[in-house]
């Protein structure tokens, strides 16, 4: 008996991803009103899947729904940013400590390979952003707590709304790379506490650069 076929991805999920990427690319600016009629016409869909997609983005914090006014791309205040960085620092420093304590040699080599990719991408900001996120998410996967992973993934989406991304600051990419090197050194020594403190410092410095 053949296995049942998987249902195709729901239309609203596809629309949510399209809108998510437009928000991250600043095609839909923070604080801007989302024209549902225009978007529905553009995508050739009814407003029902579009509204379902907006609910998904609202749950992620990327969209703010206002009574009788519609949906807006979320604006991130300094307080919002500080709170997001605080939580990311706690969650990812805990993950770094876990990786230092139980990662396999093969897993550490994966992270080292990503770190080398970061070193090679210092002159390509967009590539550096992408590899940096891959490094952090892979570290979380190795740490092995799916609830923490989901929380971090959602928080990172909100962090991307920040107009003044920390890595845009002059010299911040080199500083970030040095901080990653410190994390890697602590992981290689299998020192959970050092890895935790290095990651905490990484996020504290990131917040200062983003503010």
Domains, the chain, ordered by start: 11-73 (1.10.10.10), 78-210 (1.20.120.530)
Instruction: Specify the pLDDT at position 184.
Output: 97
The proportion of the chain whose per-residue pLDDT surpasses 70, expressed as a percent, equals: 91
For the entire predicted model, the pTM comes to 0.80
Question: Count of alpha carbons within 13 Å of 88, Cβ hemisphere only?
Answer: 25
Tokens for 203, please give them: 């996020």
Query: Whose CA is closest to 56, among 24, 15, 7, 21?
Result: 15
Q: Output DSSP code: residue 2.
A: P
Residues 51 and 40: their CA atoms lie apart, in Å, by: 10
Residue from 69, 71, 70, 51 nearest 61 by CA: 71
In this prediction, residue 9 carries a pLDDT of: 62
Q: Cα 155 to the chain's mean position, in Å? A: 6
């Amino acid at each position: 008996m053949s296995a049942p076929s998987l249902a195709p991805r729901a239309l609203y999920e596809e629309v949510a991803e399209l809108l998510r990427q437009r928000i991250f690319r600043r095609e839909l600016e923070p604080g801007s009103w989302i024209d549902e009629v225009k978007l529905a016409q553009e995508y050739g869909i009814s407003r029902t899947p579009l509204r379902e997609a907006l609910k998904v983005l609202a749950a992620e914090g990327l969209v703010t729904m206002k009574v009788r006014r519609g949906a807006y791309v979320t604006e991130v205040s300094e307080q919002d940013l500080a709170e997001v960085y605080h939580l990311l620092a706690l969650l990812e420093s805990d993950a770094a400590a876990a990786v230092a304590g139980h990662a396999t040699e093969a897993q550490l080599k994966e992270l080292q390979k990503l770190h080398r990719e970061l070193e090679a991408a210092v002159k390509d900001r967009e590539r550096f952003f992408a590899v940096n996120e891959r490094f952090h998410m892979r570290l979380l996967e190795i740490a092995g707590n799916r609830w923490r992973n989901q929380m971090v993934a959602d928080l990172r989406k909100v962090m991307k709304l920040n107009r003044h991304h920390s890595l845009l600051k002059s010299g911040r990419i080199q500083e970030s790379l040095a901080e990653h090197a410190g994390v890697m050194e602590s992981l290689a020594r299998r020192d959970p506490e050092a890895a935790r403190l290095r990651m905490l410092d990484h996020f504290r410095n990131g917040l200062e650069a983003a503010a």
